[in-house]
Structure 1
């Protein structure tokens, strides 16, 4: 099973074990199976509260967090479907503002798996297809003002793209990732992401290089979707402490987001642009401003609080956590490190999945790092720690390996800024070990 999901609830775990046995065990793109599964379940995806559908290589999760914060600040309840989870599978399904409860989750998974298996006519639905169906079934049965759906992989053939008439769609930052599924070039990847465009539904995008803009415009035009791009239909500017969004006839100034990094101001602006270019949910200006302060998205340049891991570091140290699993994600992290270090040495505790480009990530992070300690990612195929350390030394970073994150932190003997990064799976382990469960 791709996401190695486990649960402390025996009822949920029983269904996850069942999914492990039934699922083909790999990501399979395509809408045939999810469409058939939705039909067997009574087409719940046709009865969702107004949908905000968000794609992108990086930043789509943060954009969803800003959307949720703004809609909730306006007094509305909202469903959220996101992936992957960090610690608990329940994080994927937020039902009218709260993480789904274990009993409800177990019952939903059982119902969806019964429909998927259906005797000899087994759909061979993937892990993500089953979980998407469970989320949509829950959302259709529970009243809310809006539904926020984060694309899992790509867009055009992602299981979430079974949604036919969202209120608005959006594309966050683009970069090279998941090449085996989406293509080797940014142009191919952009085309796949733009595949969430729907006839008559606004597609709100960031600003991209000319060829990428043209590709997205062509895909959107073929679908009959109007495009509202940053730099033409709307703009945003980030100052020292504020972010200013503007479109035709409207402007708002917010605080810079609580989420760390200049890129988060652009993600906030994208969320505001999506809110502005839809008519299904009323969100006033005050709620848009509140989103900057309310939004929270774990493991995206998150400063960890007091806990068992933080306690291992010398007094005067800070402990930060980020996914930073691809070059585009590493760039804002590198910029943030230069600001946050305040003269202290930066130690990077790094673990990366085997299918990620460690060379490219380290090339970006190296100028901001004075020491690296490589660690494994338990339960996942990962770059060997010794190999990661050797790669870091090729960038002139003093490097070593450790058996686990706690052992790595024990080696930090002077006040430092310590960043744990490289994988959201690793981030989940860290949050659990520091007693900071996402809620």
Structure 2
């Protein structure tokens, strides 16, 4: 994909506007008003928030709707390699990443409307999404929240077809609060008076109480995982159950038991939004939905060539303790089916709980190579990260890059040894860099 024009537009914006987040709806609302409030002229929207799993839920939701033959726009963030990944535009036969010329033109129009006023780049890019989705025909929009919910720039949708809250746990404490119930209250900000709400699997009872109480106070039809719907694996199939009965469908192609809960939230969301999905469409969606950078098995590529012969490389951008738990559980399942020594190549940024993330892999990972995250100013030094991994009980050493870690493994591997399984993770920035370097960016 040619990405030069849109990237130039965004790089210019970054020289004009501050990096990071400034949670408020005032600036984006002012900008959208100048653009004619495109968010009010989009198709019905399914709005998805949460700490973990919201990207996977969005992918399942889009796959179910498209399997129904519907035209679907999708907004997700952040991207891994190219900014274009944030916008999928509806098309016959399945949505496509926005083309460079269309994205560049939309960014230029939004920037012109903003006229240099104070704003964040994420707010401009959210407005770009609303503009694109209002000007291209579709049946439904799947909209993933960026950060939090209440003051996230996407939270200008007045009446979503359904609001979805995926698992809430500790992350972004500097912006959202230092207790899980405070973070849940911010996520619950996307719940709107009388609009359907789907609450996904919640690891913390305190978060579930906040979400359920908010939905009840606002008079919302509410569907709660474990109470109103749930899913489990049985005989190599997925069983989904809600008040309408049972569905026996294919297991999700995405790796990890947690994907059953993510998929079930997507099914519940599509139903709550009134799209009445057929069972055969849901079954097909389970086998086609994918979400790059989350328990993704790395295909052939430049980095794969540096690894020991026969090695498996998995990438996952999960970067908080909650993500660490579900990733380690997924790897433990792989170990049961196909035993291999497990190694980790990790890079993280300084706003994340590094020790909490590493603790989830105690007793599972044989050795950790820590690397810098080259594309983030907030990268934790590889020496410091190795200390954090060691403090969590893991054997760890710093190396200069992912490529060097793979070559170290290869040079120390014997041909008679069982080929290793390697997890590269701890940061979406790192995973994006790995997919780019391997020559396998998301499409």
TM-score class normalised by the smaller sequence: over 0.9
Asked whether the 8 Å contact 1:252–1:289 carries over to 2, the reply is: no
- Secondary structure at the aligned position of 2:155 is classed as helix
1:252 matched to 2:247? The reply is yes
Change (3 A) 1:10 1:237: closer
* Structure 1 residues 181-260: aligned runs within 5 Å: 181-208=175-202, 209-239=204-234, 241-260=236-255
Cross-structure match for 1:83: 77
Cα separation, 1, equivalents of 2:394 and 2:19: 38
> Structure 2: how far apart are the matches of 1:240 and 1:377?
41
1:4 paired residue number:
none
Shift of 1:123: 3.3
Q: Call closer, same or farther: CA 1:262–1:240 in 2, change over 3 Å.
A: farther
Q: Once the two structures are superposed, what CA deviation does each residue of 1:63-82 show, in whole Å capped at 9, x if it has no partner? A: 00000111111111210000
Distance in 2, Cα, partners of 1:109 & 1:391: 41
- Name which of 378, 383, 387 aligns with 1:390: 387
Alpha-carbon distance, 1:235 to partner: 2.5
Q: 1:54 & 1:127 partners in 2: Cα distance?
A: 21
User: Equivalences for 1:325-336 in 2 at 5 Å?
Assistant: 325-336=319-330
1:124 CA drift (Å): 1.1
Instruction: State how far apart, in whole Å, the 1-side matches of 2:235 and 2:88 are.
Output: 33
Deviation at 1:207?
4.3
Question: Deviation at 1:210?
Answer: 4.2
- Aligned partner of residue 360 in structure 2, secondary structure: helix
Choose which of 432, 435, 439 in structure 2 pairs with 1:435. Answer: 439
Partner of 2:105: 107
For 2:416, the equivalent position in structure 1 comes to: none
User: 1:401 & 1:287 partners in 2: Cα distance?
Assistant: 47
Q: Does 1:356 align with 2:360?
A: no
Q: Is 2:19 the counterpart of 1:22?
A: no
Q: Answer yes or no: is 1:412 the counterpart of 2:409.
A: yes
Q: 1:134 aligns with which of 113, 128, 134?
A: 128
CA contact (8 A) 1:352 1:377 kept: yes
Encode CA deviations 1:91-146: one digit per residue, 9 max, x unaligned: 001111110011111110000011112xxxx4312111100100110000000111
String of CA shifts for 1:346-372, please: whole Å, max 9, x gaps.
110000011111111111112210011
> Normalised by the size of structure 1, how large is the TM-score?
0.94
The equivalences for 1:332-343 within 5 A come to 332-341=326-335, 342-343=338-339
Q: Which moved more, 1:106-115 or 1:231-240?
A: 231-240
- CA positional deviation for 1:240: 5.2
Q: 1:263 aligns with which of 258, 272, 281?
A: 258
Deviates more, 1:11-20 or 1:76-85: 11-20
Displacement of 1:288 in angstroms is: 1.0
Give the 3 Å change call, closer, same or farther, for CA 11–343 of structure 1 in structure 2.
closer
Corresponding residue number in structure 2 for 1:421: 425
Report SS of the residue matched to 1:259.
Answer: coil
Residue in structure 1 matched with residue 117 of structure 2 by the alignment: 123
Match of 2:367 among 362, 371, 384: 371
Alpha-carbon contact 1:355-1:382 (below 8 Å) kept: no
- Could you state the TM-score of these two structures normalised by the residue count of structure 2? 0.93
Counterparts of 1:202 and 1:325, CA distance in 2:
30
CA distance in 1, matches of 2:62, 2:88: 10
Please name the residue that 2:292 is paired with. Answer: 298
Cα distance change on mapping 1:141 and 1:361 into 2, 3 Å: same
Secondary structure of the 1:368 match is coil
CA distance in 1, matches of 2:41, 2:206: 37
Deviates more, 1:203-212 or 1:17-26: 203-212
Q: How far apart are residue 14 of structure 1 and its match? A: 2.7
Aligned residues: 428
Residues 375 and 429 of structure 2 are in contact (CA less than 8 Å); yes or no, is this contact kept in structure 1?
Answer: no
In the alignment, does 2:281 pair up with 1:277? no
Q: CA RMSD in A?
A: 1.5
Q: Which moved more, 1:415-424 or 1:379-388?
A: 379-388
Return structure 1 stretches of 4+ with deviation > 6 angstroms: none
Q: Secondary structure at the match of 1:159?
A: coil
Give the Å deviation of 1:387. Answer: 1.4
2:363 alignment partner, SS class:
helix
Deviation at 1:375, TM superposition (A): 0.4
Cα distance in 1 between the residues matched to 2:130 and 2:393: 49
Q: CA separation in 2, counterparts of 1:315 and 1:399?
A: 23
Counterparts in 2 of 1:10 and 1:123: CA distance versus 1, 3 Å: same
Offset at residue 319 of structure 1 (A)? 0.8
1:11 match: 5
**Matched position secondary structure for 2:422:** strand
Assess if the C-alpha contact under 8 Å between 1:37 and 1:123 holds in 2: no
For 1:238 and 1:173, the matched residues in 2 are separated by: 20
Find the aligned partners of 1:261 and 1:157 in 2 and give their Cα distance.
31
